[in-house]
A and B are shown apart, each in its own frame.
Chain A
């Protein structure tokens, strides 16, 4: 296939960006949920 490497590079780059961004959002969200739970437990103890 002509220009195979260009097509592969474009699609790999696009998928890498989608994957990395989605993973980053998921990780940040999980960290915030943990922090919220930790604070909530501290408030319930008081």
Chain B
């Protein structure tokens, strides 16, 4: 093996050491983070059903609000970070931004799916229908479709640089629906309830409900951080694997050519 080969070996050894450090010390920390998040979410579940008061108009069905709104916020935050990842990639062409964009887009999509399922389950007993095509519900549905399209687009393009470029452009376009969805209940008259948090004069919720909501939100945000971190690591590993595979292929080809020369 020549000096170039030694350099590659050192690079691989560095990656190996980094990975071993991650799998031993960092894994323990993230394992504890998983346990802490599970405990936080379990306590939030207890608070939702046993601490938060019963809402006077809607009754117990209002308890869906705690998971529905908190997951909607987590989805919006994840898509916002994904948007920054897309811009970061286009500005720097560094793959780390692309990994952040896809990790947050996928986690955001998971939270939006929860929103689109819990919403109709709440709507049926309150509105009498599962779904109406009002501004909020329609923009939320379009948001889900846009980020599914974003992930499908990534599957269709195999070359990493090209995939990152195309999906960054599409990711920015997809994000345009986030402010539309968020402000739809402020800008247009919709069947969806008006915002109770930050909705201006006359809006607001009971302080106990607000604290329970914040507690649940903290749990879902912790879950967001952990899932984004794992999803980001997946992308980083994919890159390392493709580098190693290319290195191996190159070595095998050079060995074969040496044998042919002999």
Contacts and interface: CB of A to CB of B under 8 A. Distances in A.
Sorting the interface of chain B by its residue count into under 10, 10 to 19, 20 to 34 or 35 or more gives 35 or more
A46 B223 CA distance: 41
B94 interface: no
Contacts of A36: 19, 237, 240-241, 244
Interface stretch (B58-66, B180-188, B192-200, B205-213): B58-66
B245 interface: yes
B21 interface: no
B67 interface: yes
Interface stretch (B84-92, B116-124, B137-145, B162-170): B116-124
A9 B114 CA distance: 12
Contacts of A39: 241, 244-245, 248
Contact of B23 (A25, A32, A33, A40): A33
Sorting the interface of chain A by its residue count into under 10, 10 to 19, 20 to 34 or 35 or more gives 20 to 34
B8 to A, nearest CB: 9
Contact of A32 (B67, B121, B122, B237): B237
Interface string A4-46: 1011011101100110011001101100110110011011001
B233 A29 contact: yes
Contacts of B16: 40
Nearest to A21: B110
Interface in B222-262: 223, 227, 230-231, 233-234, 237-238, 240-241, 244-245, 247-248, 251
A13 B241 contact: no
B186 to A, nearest CB: 25
Contacts, number: 88
Interface of A is mostly: helix
A37 B241 CA distance: 9
B113 interface: yes
B91 to A, nearest CB: 28
A14 B231 contact: no
A18 B95 CA distance: 27
Contact of A46 (B238, B240, B251): B251
A29 B125 contact: no
A42 B252 CA distance: 11
Given A2-B60, A32-B237, A13 B23 contact: no
The 7 closest A-B pairs by CB, nearest first: A3-B61, A10-B121, A32-B237, A39-B244, A10-B118, A10-B64, A21-B110
Interface of B: 9, 12, 16, 19, 23, 45, 59-61, 63-64, 67-68, 71, 110, 113-114, 117-118, 121-122, 124-125, 223, 227, 230-231, 233-234, 237-238, 240-241, 244-245, 247-248, 251
